[in-house]
Structures are given as C-alpha cells and as structure tokens.
C-alpha cells in the first residue's frame, strides 16, 4: 500500500456524521481489495470537519457535482456508493481517486489528487446540486 498523499493546499472539507461513519466503514472494508484509494478515503474522513447539517453547496453522497480539471475539461457527475457506479451515466464511485477527492468540497474549492497511475492532478468544484440521500449499501 502506498502512503497517503498530502498536499499543502488541501482545503477544509465537511461531512455529516452519518457520511463519516458510513464512508469510514466502507474504506475499512475495502482495504484488502483497493488499499490505495481506501487509505485515501480514510485520511479524508479523519481530516474532515464533522457537521450536523451539511450545506447544500458541499459535496456529499448523492450530490451532482460540476467541476473543471487542470486539463481544461469540465464534467458533471453524481457521487455514489461503489455498487451504484455507472460511468456511462455519470455516476462515479466514492472508491475512486476522483470520488474521494470530491467528497466534502464546497463550490469554488480546489484540491490536488493522485490518479491511479500516480499523476498529480487538480480539480475545482464549480457547482453542487444536492440529491436524495444515497441509501446505506449494507
């Protein structure tokens, strides 16, 4: 397993206590099959500010997120649990490097993240549309 990467420009992120609990458990369960991304998700949950009510402008599970990446592309995706991922439908798993990078970010925030092949990338959240809460996949 690679060490968790930290960057000096890591923004403050917010998650609900429910998402923190669910996502921490998901990451712990995934440590054997996807150790790098599971470790990154655990690190994000550890550094997150846990709030009672997540503002609608903050990415949480089920949010529709528009963002730009450092290569100039703009994308809109929905952040989902692994079993609901469908890249063709724009649904990305929280257990992907970009999914883990997005969780807890607010509109206007940027974050550096590492691709699976080790390239450092940067994305900026343009907009967040809250969605119905994703049900617990358990």
pLDDT digits (tens, 9 = 90+) for 34-93: 999 999 999 999 999 999 999 999 999 999 999 999 988 999 999 999 999 999 999 999
DSSP the chain: -PPPP--TTPPP-EEEHHHHHHHHHHHHHHTTTSHHHHHHHHHHHHHSEEESS--TTB--TT-EEEEEETTS-EEEEEEE-GGG-BGGGTEEETTSHHHHHHTT-BTT-EEEEE-TTS-EEEEEEEEEE--SPPPP--
Residue 8 lies in a domain: no
Residue 76 lies in a domain: yes
Q: 6 — phi, psi (to 5°)? A: -125, 145
Residue 109 lies in a domain: yes
Residue 46 lies in a domain: yes
Residue 113 lies in a domain: yes
Residue 63 lies in a domain: yes
CATH number of the CATH domain containing 124: 3.10.50.30
Domain that holds residue 104: 14-129
Residue 82 lies in a domain: yes
Residue 4 lies in a domain: no
For the chain, the domain total comes to 1
Provide the mean pLDDT of the chain: 88
pLDDT higher than 80, residue 20: yes
């Amino acid at each position: 397993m690679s060490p968790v990467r930290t960057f000096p420009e890591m923004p403050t992120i917010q998650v609900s206590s429910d998402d923190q609990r669910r996502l921490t458990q998901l990451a712990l369960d995934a440590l054997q099959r996807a150790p790098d991304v599971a470790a990154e998700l655990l690190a994000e949950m550890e550094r997150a500010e846990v709030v009672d009510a997540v503002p609608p402008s903050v990415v949480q599970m089920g949010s529709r997120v528009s963002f730009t990446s450092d290569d100039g592309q703009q994308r809109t995706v929905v952040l989902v649990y692994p079993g609901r991922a469908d890249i063709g439908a724009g649904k990305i798993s929280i257990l992907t490097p970009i999914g883990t990078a997005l969780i807890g970010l607010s509109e206007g925030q940027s974050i550096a993240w590492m691709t699976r092949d080790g390239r450092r990338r940067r994305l900026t959240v343009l907009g967040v549309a809250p969605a119905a809460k994703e049900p617990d996949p358990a």
